[in-house]
Amino acid sequence: MGPEKILSDLIKINTVNPPGNEIEAAIYLKNLFEQAGVPGEIIETEKGRGNFIARMGSGSKSLLFLSHLDVVPAGDGWDFDPFSGEIRDGMVLGRGALDCKGLVAAEAFAFLRLAKEKTPLNGTLIFAATADEESGGNFGVKRLLQDFPEKLQADFAVNEGAEEPLTLHGKTIFFTQVGEKGTAWVRLTAKGVSCHGSIPTLGDNAVIKMVRALNALAENQPQVVLIPEVKFMIQKLSDIMGENIGVDEHNVDTVLDNFEDRSFAETLRAMTRMTVSPNEVQGGSKTNVVPDVCSSNIDIRILPGQDQHYVLEKLRRYIGEEISIEMPNYHHPTFSSSQTGHYEAIVRATREVAGEDVICLPCISTGATDSRFLREAGIPSYGIGHMAEGFDRELWNTVHGKNEQIEMASLQLKASFLEKLARQYLI
């Protein structure tokens, strides 16, 4: 059974979160592993929220293959059944093909292939397909680390999270995610005085106060901060493009403006600064009533080295003291060093399967994965986005969108990479 068949089977199991129901996918994996003679266990953190864990080998070293079983809702407008798992024209179709059941399938296939060959391991290989990544990890990795930390303990982990490979001026570039931006969601509230809308000067319009505050945020762009790994990555990309310029905080935007791929350029730009996006505004109850309160929810993402105090200081500087600030959702940035043997092992395995001439660069994620929980627990975690040569970059837009699908060739490359990594590190 190839990784494409495992993925197809997993897609057919509806694990849309909420409610998740990952237990069905966990049972499928448990049966699959048992058929191959590999025992595994299901940890049900809450009814229906299943996490499957298996391990083989023994010794002083340990490597964790991490992935998640839940998917986001499919929505309408697909060209095919999002839960068909159809294999057609070299593709596997359906919700989760890229995020993240494709990685589940590749990790399972690599693990079971090593088991089938009875490969002697000088260490332990751990497979963990978990619940609830799409809704915060409370029933998945976060809970497992709280209640069963020994189950996931490893020297380092491989997970989702990197940018997909890029072809730039004839060079193929693979990325490894070494860190994630933190989340600092903020709620601003402006208070005013109500009155009749026909005589607005008798009141104090809270909506106008909020508009001024949001305009101030829009006019004051966050400071550019190049952490070493991001600076190294952008410098290498700039060199490949023949820019012949030393990238720094003053010229990085000019460098990024030269990228033809605007989506990729803006992703890189978000790696170079705190981002501030006012995404919800609520104010007023009736057209003829001056509102006495207005609020706005703002999505703020921060870089490694920044924290909630940094966010609050910047906001106060921009919007003044009159607007109140709450931070209902905060999670600090996380980071794993690229100056380690674990990172180098990933680079070597990548070049083994993708070609010795590929360029491997570190990156950070603008969003979040379960790797943040591992890093907080002291387990270095690295994200991959490995895809086969010639893959269609437009497919990445189907993640959390319509018509999600993955090439069989990319699944097979992921599985080959994971097998090579395990062999290199644990044999």
Q: How far apart are CA 387 and CA 406, in angstroms?
A: 9
pLDDT surpasses 90 at 285: yes
pLDDT surpasses 90 at 427: no
Comparison of pLDDT for 327 and 396, the residue scoring more: 327
Q: What percent of the chain has pLDDT over 70?
A: 100
Q: What is the pLDDT of residue 284?
A: 96
- The predicted model gives 359-369 an average pLDDT of 96
Domain 180-331 has CATH 3.30.70.360: yes
Q: What is the pLDDT of residue 151?
A: 98
User: Domain 3-178+335-426 sits in which CATH superfamily?
Assistant: Zn peptidases (3.40.630.10)
Model pTM? Answer: 0.94
| Single-letter residue type at 65 | F
- The predicted model gives 189-196 an average pLDDT of 98
Q: How far apart are CA 22 and CA 52, in angstroms?
A: 9
- The predicted model gives 306-310 an average pLDDT of 97
pLDDT in tens, 19-48: 999 999 999 999 999 999 999 999 999 999
Q: What is the pLDDT of residue 21?
A: 97
pLDDT surpasses 90 at 396: no
pLDDT in tens, 52-96: 999 999 999 999 999 999 999 999 999 999 999 999 999 999 999
Domain ranges of the chain: 3-178+335-426, 180-331
